[in-house]
Amino acid sequence: MCLAGAHAACHSGTSGPSTDKPPEHKGSVTLASPALERSRPLDCAKYPASASAGMDTRTVLLVLQAMLVLPLADGAAPVLRFVAVGDWGGVPNAPFYTARETANAKEIARTAKILGTDFILSLGDNFYFTGVQDAEDKRFQETFEDVFSDPSLRNVPWYVLAGNHDHLGNVSAQIAYSRISKRWNFPSPYYRLRFKIPRSNVTVAIFMLDTVTLCGNSDDFLSQQPQRPRDPQLARTQLSWLKKQLAAAKEDYVLVAGHYPIWSIAEHGPTHCLVRQLQPLLATYKVTAYLSGHDHNLQYLQDEDGIGYILSGAGNFMDPSRRHFRKVPSGYLRFHYGVENSLGGFTYVEISPKEMSITYIEASGKSLFKTKLPRQDRLEHL
């Protein structure tokens, strides 16, 4: 694991001065880390929901869904939309991708074209099985650029965090690749994103964490649990940063994302370190949801405080395990999908001034599960 130079700045491109009031006509994102605070406008252009003669049944169904949820006139509802996908990182041997990864890439592209997406959250394990070696590693092209190559994805930014397999290689190289790729954004091991929902004053913060630095790496074939952080001081520094950021957050929706799940019924189970250190912070600061990967399936859990736990780790492999079902508090699990011969899937999130909608989509195009989390008056309860 190499973290030297980890706070490298983002690549240059369309950007503007850091501001808490981004232009309403586009929506924008502020990247904020211990070494970075800048604003980058998002390209929120939406593709028309028009059907062609060659469309198959899945596409027609998505078009009909889009017509229901996306008015095509100028009065379209103000919504921030994004895809969350984890554990999508191909394989280290030719052709460097899997059938599931390519199926997910195609369905994400279809979703972006018909429903629209402002960005993609990558939830770690971006390159199996041992990350990348340097910023020129061919895996960036073969596992990322060439796979997620549909025209509908060319201008969609990715916001990236590292997983345990990424830490077996050079995480600094993934950060450095932000200067090479126009859509790969990985400014620092942990950082803040800030969005404004178009045509509204409602704001969204997403805190992107490095849970491997927080808890340590895990061995998929031994204990499954990270035992301890490699550098305790780095772990303390990140946790202190997060506490301060959450305490100061004034956004209407606050999300936290990391590779390791807090709660999971599957092979890896709940991450003890995060249950102990991170979950109490989510409750204290009224976080809306926590997004993760690591377990190779799709799960949705919700606790007694109404916090949603969105597990989206089905981008490349599928694992049907429910091994840790009894390790999760009763009533938390609302949805689990780990069908072994499935093509995997991802989550599609829409945030409006009123609520946050989460849809789990199989790579075949099937909608598996949908739920909503209401917008809460966070500041009134802090």
Mean pLDDT of the chain: 84
> For 53-106, how does the pLDDT look when each residue is reduced to its tens digit (9 = 90+)?
333 444 334 433 443 344 433 456 899 999 999 999 999 999 999 999 999 999
Residue 222 has pLDDT above 80, yes or no: no
322 vs 162, 222, 345, 371, CA distance in Å?
A: 25, 17, 18, 21
What per-residue confidence (pLDDT) applies to 32? 55
Higher pLDDT, 61 or 186: 186
What per-residue confidence (pLDDT) applies to 376? 84
What token pair was written down for 172?
């600094």
Confidence band, pLDDT 50/70/90 cuts, at residue 218: confident
Distance CA 5, CA 172 (A): 6
Taking residues 336-358, what's their average pLDDT? Answer: 97
**E-assigned strand segments in the chain:** 28-33, 36-41, 80-85, 119-122, 158-160, 184-185, 191-196, 203-208, 253-257, 289-292, 298-302, 308-312, 333-337, 345-351, 355-362, 367-374
Residue 304 has pLDDT above 60, yes or no: yes
Residue among 116, 184, 166 at smallest CA distance from 3:
166
Higher pLDDT, 378 or 20: 378
Measured from the Cβ of residue 12, the count of other Cβ atoms closer than 10 Å reads: 9
DSSP secondary structure letters along 359-377:
EEEETTS-EEEEEEEE---
What token pair was written down for 70?
């996306």
> For 97-142, how does the pLDDT look when each residue is reduced to its tens digit (9 = 90+)?
999 999 999 999 999 999 999 999 999 999 999 999 999 999 999 9
Cα–chain-centroid distance for residue 148?
Answer: 15
Residue among 155, 160, 193, 156 at smallest CA distance from 178:
160
99 vs 63, 131, 314, 318, 341, CA distance in Å?
A: 25, 19, 12, 12, 11
Taking residues 143-154, what's their average pLDDT? Answer: 98
Residue 186 has pLDDT above 70, yes or no: yes
What per-residue confidence (pLDDT) applies to 339? 97
**Interaxial angle between packed helices 57-69 and 99-114, expressed in degrees from 0 to 180 and rounded to the nearest 10:** 40
Q: Which long-range contacts (CB under 8 A, 24 or more apart) does 244-251 make?
A: 245/32, 245/192, 245/207, 246/207, 246/281, 246/284, 246/285, 246/287, 247/285, 249/205, 249/285, 249/378, 250/203, 250/379, 251/194, 251/203, 251/204, 251/205, 251/378
Report the percent of the chain where pLDDT is more than 70. 77
Distance CA 224, CA 261 (A): 12
Taking the whole predicted model, whether its pTM rises above 0.85 is answered as no
Pairing state of beta strands 253-257 and 203-208? parallel
Rounded to 5 degrees, what angle do the CA atoms 159, 165, 167 make? 75
Q: Which residues contact 107 (CB under 8 A, 6 or more apart)?
A: 345, 346, 361, 362, 363, 364, 365
Dihedral over Cα of 289, 294, 295, 296: its sign: positive
